[in-house]
Structure formats: C-alpha cells, structure tokens
A and B are shown apart, each in its own frame.
Chain A
C-alpha cells in the first residue's frame, strides 16, 4: 500500500509544482498512445499513489491539427480521441491542466501519413494575429470541448516566449492566465528553429513580474502575470565530470546491448527532414551553465547526483526571503518510455519527502496562482 504523502499545507515554506509537458515530438513524430496516453496514465498513477498533486501542461495546437484532419484519417481520429480521453482522466484524477503551445502546429498539414509543421518553434517569432489566434482557439477547445476550467498557467513550447514577449504576455493577461513558467535560467538555443537566450537572468530562480516586452527581465512595477522560472541549478566542475561519466556509462550500456547507433531514427522516405534545431540542443537538458530540474532526464545525471541537485535547489530556496518559495520542476511524458524512468521519478520524490518533507509541500500551478498574494515577486531595481 503506497504511503500517503504529506498534504499541501500553508505551513510549508517550499512549494513545489511538478509540471509535465504533454505533447508529441516537436517535429510531429510519435504516436499519441505511446508518447502521451500510456505514460500519462502511468505518471498519474504514480502521483496518485504518492498522494502528490501535479500539473499537466497540455499542448493543444497539436490537438487542433488532429481535429482538422481526423475525418480523413482513422489513425488521426484515434489519436484525437485518445488525447481527449487522457485529458478527461487528468481532470477526473484531480490533476491541474495548464496551457502549453508549440506554434509549429499552428499551420500544420498532414500529407502522405506525415505531419508537415512550421519550421519556427518559438511562439515569439509569429505575428500578433497568429499568437492571439493560437491562444484563443486553444483555450476555447479546452473550455468547450474538454470542459476544463480556464488554465491558470502557461508554458511556451520549446521554452520560446521571447523575444519580443509583448503579445504573449498580453494574451496571458487577457485570458486570465496568472503564471508563466516558460523561462529557465541558463537555457540558450541558436538553431534553425529556435533562437533564445535565458542566460544570466536578473531573477534566475525566484518569481518576478516580467517586463512588458521582454519576459526575461523584471518589470518596474507589478502586473497581472508572474513569471515563475522553472528551476535549474549550476553544476560544479566535479558534477559536470559525473554527468560525463554517467553519459559514458549509458553509451557503454547501449553498446553492450547492441543498440548504439540506432538511437536516432533516420527520417523515413517521404517525411519532412527533422529540423536541425533538434541536433542543436533542444533535446539537451544540460546547458553550459545550468542543469534543468527535469524529472524525465534523471538518467542524464544519475539518480544520486539528481537527488543532490534537488537538495541544493531546496536549500537555495530556504535561504531566500520570506516563505513560501515557489519552485517549478519540469517533466516530459514523451520521454518516459521505460519502467526505469518512472522508478527514478518515484525515487526522487521519495528523496524529497525523506530529506525535506518538513519544509516541502507539493502543489499545482493553479494553487500557486491562487496564492500569489503570499509571495513578493521581484521587480527591476
């Protein structure tokens, strides 16, 4: 019988929101059943067993594309229906649903069994009308088709919310979305599909009111939206060596299993070539300076180091000003493809509970949004 976890309580100075980006691959590849439905059910079961609430960041432009083509393709119809069923299970299970948008789906076409998506993966690279349309139609779908309450939080796909950020932030305000979690300190891409730089943020780990035009900068005055950075932590030199060692072990393991060199599938004949940005680092959680706290990539650093990184993130938050401290952790169901992934997540949660159960409460992004009056988001000095 799984032990019941400590409940969310205002008595705890550290509030952790476990978020999961729920989506197919960025190039449209993958199967809803394998990459979304099954792992989401397993994750929900894991969280429910531990009594831990969580937030699914539901990528909705993909589903709108599926809806457009489902009548002509039974496979897409099944994927669409499975998406709806899974979201219904999230709601029934008491999980929070936040909005997640990967703009490459906005003008998606389905040809010869493959998706042809836009090559721009950063929402900030679209014009105002396109951004407003993406928000309006996605939120209408979640409200009218899925019968969900309006999301309280948002994460941009591929973390792409700048720059400029003005229209995105205006959309968040207009639609009553109070928290954005698109920013993660240290992340930077310069690729064909995404270019962004979140290095050296003025408020790298603590909530702040974002500047009207640049979501990376604190504003001069409070606003209606609060940026709660997804947590990351710098790796020491020794820890970087540990990461390299863990990677070498994984490669050795794959070589011994005979799977080395077969990890990345070559584009199938007739399919659009995979964007070069994938190779440029979108799949890498480790940036040059900071490691993203991503529960789906524990194996990249190993369980022990990941647990130590969690300790550092929580201890760092305890040293901050008055509680509660809001911490957002990342996850990707599309990467949870083996029992080992779930085992590592459960181990990490047990570690948090064992070492920090006295100070940590697990909450949803909606609960954070409902309690913004308890924190003091940073402003520009």
Chain B
C-alpha cells in the first residue's frame, strides 16, 4: 500500500477546503475554527470531485500524483494569497464557563468521542457491506481505477450491442458521480483496490459534520455547552451512526451538504456575512452531485430565503396561499403531474400515518428527537419570530416537513413509508439542519446564552476561537 498516497488522498481535500474557505471569508468577519474545519472538508471533497471530473472532460488520463501536486500547489497559493486576512472571534470563551458547564461539556465531548471511536473501528475492519454501496457507488471507482480514466457507464440496453470492453453497464449509469469519485480518489491514493480503507471518508464526513455544526452554533452565539449538546444529539442518532458504520451510501454526504448549506443561509440572514451567502450558494448547487434528491432539498431553501426576507404581512399571505392550495388538493382528490426531469407523478392521498409515526416515534432511528421538535417549534412560535433566525428556522422546518408529507402521503413513494426504507434515509438528509434549528429555536433571544457574558474580542490575527 502507498501510505503517502493514502494520507494525501485523505487529508489533501481537507486542507484544500479550508484554504478555499479562507479565500471566501471576508476580512474582519466573525469566524469559528470549528466551522472552518467542518466546512473545509466538504468544500475540499467537492473541489476534488470537480477537479477530477474537469480533468477527465479535458481529455487527460487520470494521474493521482500529478493531480495531487496541482491541488497542493493551489492550496499553498490560496493560503499565501489570503495570509493577511484577519477575522474576529466573538464567541464566549470556553474557559469562562461555570465548573458544571465545563464538566458537562467534557462529558458530552467524551460521549461523542466514544461513539466515534466505535464507528472508526468498525469502518476499518468490515469490507464494504451495504447494498447500494457495492452495487451503485463502488463499481465505477473500481473500473476507473483500473483504466485510469472515467470510462463511460451506459444503459444496459446499449451495452449488449456495444462490444467495447471499456464501456460498462451498471445501475449507476443514472447516478451522480460524487460518491464514485470520492471512492475513486481514495483508491487512487492507496494504489490498489481496498474496499475497507476506501470507506474512511465517511468517518471524516461525520467528523466534519460535528465540527461544522458546532462552529455555526457558536457563530450564532450559542454557548459552548449547548453547542456540544447539539452535536451529541445529532451524532448519537442511531440511523446516522449506522450510515457511517455501514459506510458507502450517499445519504450522510447529502445530509452534511444540505445541512451546511441551510446553516449558512440562516447565518447570512442573521449577520449578512457575504461569505455565508457564497457558501450557501456553492453547497446548494453541489448537493445534487451526491444524490439526485439534493436538487429538491436545495430548492426547499429558496422559499426559506424568500419568506424570511418578506414582511410579516406578505409572509402571512404566502402561507395562506399555500394552505389554500393544499386544501384544493384535498377537495379535488388528487392531481396528475408530468414535469420535466421529475417525471410523472400522481398526487393522490395515501394514509400512511401509522407507518410514518412508527418510523419517527417508535423505532429508535432518532432516539427522542421527534418528541423534542414540537416543543422547539412551540418555543419558536412563542418568541413571535422577533429574530430572523427563529423565523428562518421555523419556516425551514415547516417547508421540509411539508415536502416530506407531500412525497410520502401524496405520491406513489408512499410505498417507501410502508416498508420503512427511504422514509428514514430521506429524514436523515434533514437531521443536521433540524437539530441545528431546534437548538436555535430553544435559545433565548437577544441575550447571551450561558453563564457568562460574551467576551467580544476583535483580533488582529487569526486567533484560536473557543
């Protein structure tokens, strides 16, 4: 095994991503190191995927060391270019907390570490296991690593008449390239096929998810203790853990990408930091490279953006219109849609409440989260949306729940609710932003949360944040 190549394949995207974020982050804006670490990995993975794809589109043969050299050069250049950027840490200092807060912070940190340690060991021992992973996402990587190019994968009907040994057919012919390219990149670094080490990016993804969410919560001025509790709540969810331990599926990546995009949108609505807006745009556009439903999830952020910027009166009108349309569906008894790319869908009501309730409230997919959510939404409502974050959070939850409702109650996808398959994987995509929003809604507005005041520290250099 090529150890150097493996280390570069694993960590270069991370370093590259942080460099990209530093380039985006406007001078003298608030920042959080944890947020940079978390978002940086996702940015780096996306940049690496795009780089490999563009390289192939330009007609070049894949070459790991040449590509790595160029990426390392780009990374170094970005760091050098923005070496004089300075940012502000405005967050409450960890060390200024009460003793009990520090104790609990460490407790939850240790609990997260214990969880991740079990996951890490499982990933490093078990060969590729879940179905879609070895059927959709791993085979293209293996094929490309053999041929050193992104050979075409075509529809089965066309393969039989093809005859070319370089043209393959898999179900993956219709899937996005994101996950196969992540696999391919890692295998390229290793130097040979290894469907165990290939799964390490899934662990790094959940690590990045934890860091990113923690950092963004700190930028909302949520206290360190509450931020680490939010990370614990998210990373302790059994189905999320399962998707990392049985690595290979695209869902955790989409959850991270969509979650980060939505968090950035909310932070921009709050602070008008242009960097957050840029991050939101990039990640929303990137979500579909992991999974096709990323398109729909990204589109749900548009109404969040629009409604959050509306005045209260216009927002009320918009909500009334939505309710009126929904009532019309009920009265008509269904409608058939035939939309480009989305295809034909018959919108007819299916009563799957029992199955949905079972998956959200009875099974242990999400622990007690779905019992907490109504409480959080009640608190958000009670605060009368004086803060734009509360408004955006409430709207986001409402729109996403509405979207899930339409998909699983009004389309033929109700089958996936009945057999407990896609309903949970679709819900997983929402969990990071839902947990983030829950903590935001539960926070007290317009005052500092936690035991001590914020220590606002305008800095002249990149200081270590809390």
A binds B: no
